[in-house]
Amino acid sequence: MSNQILVIIEHLKGNIEDISFEMLGKAREISGSAGAELVALLMGSGVDGMVGQLGIADKVIYVDDTNLAEFNPQAYCKTVSEVVANNQPKMVMIGNTSMGMDIAGGVSVDQNMPFIAYVSGISGDGNTITSSLYGGKMNVDSALSGDGCIVSVIAGSFKADAGRVDGSPNVENASAPDLSGLSIHFKQLIEPEGGDVDITTQEILVSVGRGIQSDENLPMAEELASKLGGAVSCSRPIVDSKWLAKTRQVGKSGLKVKPKLYLTLGISGAPEHIEGMKDADLIIAVNTDPNAPIFDYAHYGVVQDIFDIIPALTDKL
């Protein structure tokens, strides 16, 4: 086992995702106190120009292969696994993102390395690793049985600015493992359809969750939003139920918003949702469950039936 922290860089359409900088910043903090080497793994085809944004790393391992031009679960998993096998890092940091979820578990099995998922906190010395479980209702600290682990980090857990450092780190060009005979092939990226409202530019969002119970109750929320001069957004279950369009969804697989007011109605606050709204200027949360995790992130909390609050508030506007 080497004294190395390996951070897997994620990029889409030529842009390095924030999660990569968030992990790099945290990794620098841990490596600083442990005297460890911070290594970033960049995979792709013709993306060596991105190295200049990874100045915080001691070294960048760059794997360039046409099979890695677009994300491919099979090709990326094989490549990360090979780099891990060759470098034996004591910690591998991967985003708990759509791409990361295709990689982390696979490397855990293939390299027989412990895997701790949904990580929202790591102590400065790297020894206490905290996961956010049960929809954000419980934190769990894990104790490793041996050396070395893979962690998948929830986006937004650490500050991206801490890891965003331009520079010219050492680059080690590594070749990809044999990627012939892949059985998964990338076809296309499908851009989201434009919606009637762009929730990322709204200053006021009234956001509804499971607590709204039925699409028949949506007009109440819409009336409140329009009286406040804003729009209605929502959490994942509302889109899965087809009550609102995908373009209204806030969170991990939806959009990231930063309005002046984010008023939640019946949203419990699972980590996937928090990721998309925690930076709003003012968060007011209404939920019947006093233990709902949303209250840990809101500025003001109201334990109340939303069907009592909505009309009371609408009347006053």
Partner 1 sequence: MNILVPIKQVPDLVEELEINASGTDLDREWLKMKLSEFDDHALEEALLIKDDQGANVTAIALASDDIDKALFAAAAKGADKLIKITGVEGSSTHEAAKAMANVIKSMDYDMVLTGVQAVDDRDGQLAVLLAHYLGVPHISVVTGVQASGGSVTVQKEYGGGMVAEFEASTPIVLGIQAARETPRYVPVAKVRRAMRGSTIDEVDAGDLGVSAGSTVSKMYKPDSGGGAEMIDGSAEDQASKIMEILTQKGIK
Range 42-101, binding partner 1 (CB under 8 A): 70-74, 97-99, 101
Identity of the residue, 37 or 110, whose beta carbon is nearer to partner 1 in the bound complex: 110
Tell me the site size for partner 1, rule CB under 8 A. 96
Residue 249: DSSP 8-state: B
Phi and psi at 96, nearest 5°, equal: -85, 60
Instruction: Write down the least CB distance from residue 288 to partner 1, Å.
Output: 10
Asked if residue 282 binds partner 1 (CB under 8 A), the reply is yes
Residue among 12, 52, 161, 215 that touches partner 1 (CB under 8 A): 12
Identity of the residue, 170 or 186, whose beta carbon is nearer to partner 1 in the bound complex: 186
Amino acid type, 54: L
> Rounded distance, CA 255 to CA 143, Å?
34
Asked if residue 202 binds partner 1 (CB under 8 A), the reply is no
Q: Is 231 exposed, middle or buried (0-12, 13-18, 19+ CB in 10 A)?
A: buried
Asked if residue 274 binds partner 1 (CB under 8 A), the reply is no
Asked if residue 315 binds partner 1 (CB under 8 A), the reply is yes
Distances in Å between the Cα of 113 and the Cα atoms of 32, 158, 227 are 23, 24, 54
> What part of residues 214-273 is at the interface with partner 1 (CB under 8 A)?
228-229, 236, 240-242, 246-247, 249, 252-256, 260-261, 268
Asked if residue 204 binds partner 1 (CB under 8 A), the reply is yes
> What part of residues 168-197 is at the interface with partner 1 (CB under 8 A)?
183-192
Element (H, E) at 81: helix 73-87
Q: What is the DSSP secondary-structure string of 156-168?
A: TSS-SGGG-B---
Identity of the residue, 60 or 231, whose beta carbon is nearer to partner 1 in the bound complex: 231
Residue 46: DSSP 8-state: S
